[in-house]
Amino acid sequence: MTINRRDFLKVAGLAVGCALAVPDQVNASPSSKDLNEQFAMLYDATICVGCNACTMACRQWNGTEPETDARQLYDAPTELSADTFTLIQLYQGGNGESFVKRQCMHCVEPACVSGCPVHALEKTADGPVIYDPDRCIGCRYCQYVCPFHVPRFEWDVARFPVIAKCHFCYESRIQKGIGGPACADRCPTGALIWGKRGDLLAEARKRISENPGRYVDHIYGEDDAGGTSVLYLSAVPFENLGLEDLGTRSIPEISEGTAELVLPGILIGGPILLGMIRLTAKRGGWEETWPL
């Protein structure tokens, strides 16, 4: 067997070239701040009276259109939409009655941020997950990967639709020093409050221990789906409120682990393997060398 030096160099060059292209980026969540210091909201379903002050505040601050009923008499969205970043839903059933507020959960390790190809969705160091339409290509992968079915798309806009979801009023209020999320600042009952995640968790724990029997003994979002920045307390089981049991693992964990393993693995291993095959295969004449 004679090894052709030129071929060897070609293969080696390919291997090195690919190896250089290997990602050396570590940005699973750029949140440098301690989790307890990040902003969060606490929604206590046992206090909420369903007045919709929060949803009106959201409309005013974001300039979204009301979604009226057929008689144009009532702003009555039943689901999140491109125009409705948050809404109050009502559960009535075997386990009693409860309102529940819906919006982006601002996950601690958001699947949407992990999946977005162009970093149009970003986890800020302060906690909120924000969106930049100038980067977004409108692929809607974020809609698929969000475990809470949150991101919505402007289907009826021709040029050019954007992804719509709650952004914690991060750029419009918090960064300008106006206050917290419009909804939390407007809530008249104290059912919805905002602050540091650590403080809110302590408050939630206090409420549970001081009112035995009032709450389900669980703070939804403390570690569900790897933790969220919107925390829930409830008297009825969380599944009834549409807050499913997603386990405590963060969603992007498996995917990002695979990315870190498979990408460099194939980029480096592939050329090396090909080179080895090429060098050990009998040269000239293309004789039978492999059992395929």
For binding to ligand SF4 (CB under 6 A), which residues are involved? Answer: 104-107, 110-112, 115-118, 120-121, 129, 136-142, 146, 148, 150-151, 163, 165
**Please, what is the minimum distance in Å from the beta carbon of residue 221 to another protein?**
15
192 token code pair: 């919805």
**Please, what is the minimum distance in Å from the beta carbon of residue 286 to another protein?**
3
Under 8 Å between Cβ of 11 and 279: yes
Task: Say whether residue 246 binds another protein (CB under 8 A).
Answer: yes
**Please, what is the minimum distance in Å from the beta carbon of residue 280 to ligand SF4?**
43
Lateral strand order in the sheet of 39-44 = 192-196, 39-44, 230-233
Task: Say whether residue 158 binds another protein (CB under 8 A).
Answer: yes
Cα–Cα distance for residue pair 160/66, rounded to 1 Å = 21
- CB nearer to ligand SF4: pick between 11 and 116: 116
Which partner, another protein, ligand SF4, none, binds residue 134 by CB below 5 to 8 Å per kind?
another protein
Site string for another protein, 269-288 (x = CB under 8 A): -xx--xx-xx--xx--xxxx
Which partner, another protein, ligand SF4, none, binds residue 133 by CB below 5 to 8 Å per kind?
another protein
**Kind plus residue range of the DSSP H or E element containing 96:** strand 96-102
Please, which of residues 60-99 interact with another protein by CB under 8 A? 79-81
**Please, what is the minimum distance in Å from the beta carbon of residue 136 to another protein?**
6
161 token code pair: 């639709």
**Please, what is the minimum distance in Å from the beta carbon of residue 143 to another protein?**
4
Under 8 Å between Cβ of 271 and 13: no
Number of residues that bind another protein (CB under 8 A): 76
Task: Say whether residue 144 binds another protein (CB under 8 A).
Answer: yes
Under 8 Å between Cβ of 219 and 233: yes
Which partner, ligand SF4, another protein, none, binds residue 18 by CB below 5 to 8 Å per kind?
another protein
Under 8 Å between Cβ of 141 and 153: no
Among 44, 84, 115, 238, which residue sits at the site for another protein (rule: CB under 8 A)?
115
258 token code pair: 């695979």
**Please, what is the minimum distance in Å from the beta carbon of residue 165 to another protein?**
11
Site string for another protein, 14-33 (x = CB under 8 A): x---x----x-x-xx-----
Contacts for 180-185 with beta carbons within 8 Å, 24 or more apart?
180/39, 181/41, 182/54, 182/57, 182/58, 182/60, 182/61, 183/54, 183/55, 183/57, 183/58, 183/86, 183/101, 183/103, 184/41, 184/54, 185/57
